[in-house]
Amino acid sequence: MKKVGLFIICIIFGLVLLRGQFVVFAFDGETGNRYVVYTENNQYLFEKSSVEVGDSYISKDFKLYTIVEVDTQRKVATAQFEKELKKPNISVNPHRQKIESGKDRKICLYLTHNDESYVPSDGYDSVYGAGGVHDVAKRIQDRFEKVGVQVWLDETLHIPHDTTAYNRSGVTANHLLKSYEPDAIFDIHRDGVGRSYYVTNVDGKERCKIRIVVGKANPNYEENLEFAMYLLSVAESDYPWLFSDIYMAKGHYNQGLYNKSLLFEMGTYLIEKELVLDSVEPLVDVVTTALYSTTVDTDSGEILVGGEETPETPTINEHFNNIEIKKNNDIVVSIIIIVITFIVVGGGVWGTIYILNQNNSNKKGK
């Protein structure tokens, strides 16, 4: 009897291997590890699969909070209200034109946590391989391409889902950036909290929200956060339900590689994947509208959806490109100053040494 049981187990194991992946429940360590975050007045604020003291959170109404206490036993945390951020002053051009296809419009996608899946649709929360989140990434690619944006989706596996996954995916992200020079790059994930946090009802229909994650530990933190806030603002006009919040964690998430690099949490493991896929079209619409059809007044900071691009009012995409160019120019200028300083100081030192040597020679000659 034992031999028969062992034989059956071997057959099942072999079938899983042939399928090319291991089905592993709660593999990623995030599912079922939900933290509920409250304000200091014990008001419910949000949920996340992991939080740390020092992390920050921006609500849909642009209120900034910081995590000040985490109880790992009870899985609860306390967030302190910091301030109400100034919303970007946004307006919509009523005569805005449909975005035209452009050869120079490029987006890159990759997945750090390939294993992430959706239980109601995939039958499991994680796999040792390409999980259900890959289907979401493919749908994002397809939708971008339908609106005339070139997309490179890299499905390289970065398993296992551990603390070094971002080191492995960083190689992928760097390759994409160097190879294709995209306008933006997105890391596609799904969260590990309860279904209710990501589901909202819009006109009697359930819709899936998306969380934007920005890493604090990267040199492009302020620019990536600004980009995230622009997306949040642009979405308010057509899809006010789309984004749940912006979460700023202590990690880097490879966002130091580029100033238009964000992580999207596409729903959570307990949500139907079909619901997530329904949110792809609004997401792509917001991203393309923000990057290519929304202008920023460099003096006032006002943004206009469907605005006319000029040197004083570049698109959001060009706005960040200009910031990057300025940073690179500043680096070049700094290097030149250092070199000139070295030459001047070095020349002065060597000149002084030469004069002293000459004086010593003259004294010896006398």
Asked if residue 233 belongs to a domain, the reply is: yes
pLDDT at residue 330 greater than cutoff 60: no
Q: Which domain holds residue 130?
A: 90-314
- What is the arithmetic mean of pLDDT over 114-141? 97
Model pLDDT, residue 357? 73
Q: Provide the 10 A C-beta neighbour count for residue 289.
A: 22
**Mean per-residue pLDDT, 291-295:** 95
Residue 219 lies in a domain: yes
pLDDT in tens, 208-231: 999 999 999 999 999 999 999 999
Per-residue confidence (pLDDT) for residue 364, from 0 to 100: 61
Q: Is residue 337 situated within a structural domain?
A: no
Q: Would 158 be classed as within a structural domain?
A: yes
Query: Considering the entire predicted model, what is its pTM?
Result: 0.83
Q: What's the pLDDT band for 283 if we cut at 50, 70, 90? A: very high
Classify burial at 39, counting beta carbons within 10 Å of its beta carbon; exposed 0-12, middle 13-18, buried 19 or more. Answer: middle
Residue 339 lies in a domain: no
**Looking at the predicted structure, is the pLDDT value of residue 12 above 50?**
no
- Which residues are CB-neighbours of 258 under 8 A, at least 6 positions away? 177, 184, 185, 220
Q: Could you tell me the CATH number of the domain that includes residue 294?
A: 3.40.630.40
Task: Look at 366 and 286; give whichever has higher pLDDT.
Answer: 286
Q: What pLDDT was estimated at residue 99? A: 67
Q: What distances in angstroms separate CA 296 from CA 131, 187, 273, 358, one per listed residue?
A: 38, 25, 35, 63
Task: Grade residue 11 by pLDDT with cuts at 50, 70 and 90.
Answer: very low
Q: What is the mean pLDDT of residues 59-65?
A: 96
Give the mean model confidence (pLDDT) for residues 150-179: 97
Kindly indicate the confidence band of residue 336, based on its pLDDT and cuts at 50, 70 and 90: low
What CA–CA distance (Å, rounded) separates 95 from 147?
Answer: 19
**Total domain count, the chain:** 1
Cis previous bond, 182, omega within 30: no
- Residue 27 belongs to a domain: no
What would the mean pLDDT of 37-52 be, rounded to a whole number? 96
Alpha helix positions (H), 279-315: 280-293
In a domain, 243, yes or no: yes
- Kindly state whether residue 110 falls inside one of the protein's structural domains: yes
